[in-house]
Structure 1
């Protein structure tokens, strides 16, 4: 059994591990850490790409919905990564007040929704939301 403590909240998470052969502790920790990373990715997909908003009765429809939701999240993540403004050569310097901020996945989702759903807001005012 592995026990993981969140350094910020002190919350404990448990993971029961089994392997048919002997595995070093470092390998168990690596695999368990990968599992928690994947879990956080699915939580993000539920919140931002609608992964948990399905009402299907068949495997094929569910599979299509999950594939489309994960593709939407990947698209938003690539936009967020690509939209990161260029920083100065000194990464340890704090950003100035005039520097552009990094847009996150929820902000890109909001901007795309505003662009794709017609509203009474002009495109020039859209960046000022």
Structure 2
């Protein structure tokens, strides 16, 4: 339980410094950004990074690269989700 609390506090403290997402789409036909940025660090991601530092992983560089890839992928998925919700809202209004 203490380890989970440490991960939660770390994720909360790093939230503002690690959130680099672009703004949400404003129109359903808006083109996606070239780089959607990264979602903020989550408790699970802090745990993975901590395990990478202390455990047996291929390399710390690999773990950091994988973390950035996952967070960028999640940010892109979130952006497309918001755009899809906008198109649904526009269809319902018409």
TM norm structure 1: 0.35
Higher relative contact order (CA 8 A, sep 6+): 2
TM norm structure 2: 0.45
Which protein shows a greater Rg? 1
Q: Which has the higher strand share?
A: 1
Q: Which has the higher helix share?
A: 2
